[in-house]
Copies of this chain bind each other. A is one copy, B any other.
Amino acid sequence: MTNVVIVYFSGYGHTEVQANAVAEGIRSVEGSEARMLKLSDNGELDEAGWAALDSADAIVYGSPTYMGGPAWQFKKFADASSKPWSTQNWKDKIAGGFTTSATVNGDKFSTIMYFFTLSQQHGQIWCGVGLMASNAKADGPEKLNWTGGYSGLLAIAPSDSAPDEFPAGGDLDTARAYGKRLAEVARRWRG
C-alpha cells in the first residue's frame, strides 16, 4: 500500500473540508491509503501521529492562511518536527500542501511557500498541483483550478461562510484531483 499522511490544522472547519477532499482523491487511487492527522487546538500531535509520519510514503501539509502564513498551531508542529529533521527521517518522502483563506488571493502563496521551505529542510521531494488553471472569461469558481494554485492547492472560504458552504465547487474538485496526483506520484516514486 502507498501510504499518504495528511497533517493539518483547521480553525473553523473549512480547511478540514479541503483536507477531506484531498483524502478522497488519494483513496480513489488503487493501492493507496490516506491517513488524516488533525493537530489539536494547541498544535499538538500524539505519538501515534508522529509514528505515522515516520512511516509515510508522502506527507501533505495543510493549514488555513492566518495573517499571511500558516496558523501558529501548524508552525508549532513544524518546529516540533525538528526531531525527525535532526535524523532526516522524512528524507525522500513526497511532500505537498494546501491552504484555505477568506480572500481570493490573501497571501495564500506565502503559506504554500512555507510548506515547501519546510519540506526542503526535511529533504523531501515536492509535488505541486500539476493542473493548468481555468482562466477564460466564461470560467468561474465551479471550474477546476479556477482559484489557480500551481505550487500547492488553494481554496476560498468567504469570511461569513460555514464549512458546509465553502470551500465549494471547483476548489473541492481540484482538491480531489490533487489527492489523486499525490497518491499516483507517491506510488511511482515508491517503485
Contact A117 B69 (CB under 8 A): yes
Contact A128 B137 (CB under 8 A): no
Residue interface bits A143-181, CB-to-B below 8 A is 1, else 0? 000111111001000111100011000000000000000
Q: Is A55 an interface residue (CB 8 A)?
A: no
Query: Copies of this chain, how many?
Result: 4
On chain B, the residues within 8 Å of A53 by CB distance are: none
Q: Is A52 an interface residue (CB 8 A)?
A: no
Residues of A in contact (CB 8 Å), total 68
Residues A12-35 near B (CB distance < 8 A): none
Q: Which single member of B73, B82, B113, B166 contacts A110 (CB below 8 Å)?
A: B113
Query: Footprint of B on A, CB under 8 Å?
Result: 43, 66-73, 75-76, 78-79, 81-82, 85, 88, 91-92, 102-110, 113-114, 116-121, 123-133, 135-137, 139, 146-151, 154, 158-161, 165-166, 185, 188-189, 191
Q: Which 3 A-B pairs have the closest CB atoms?
A: A103-B148, A68-B117, A109-B109
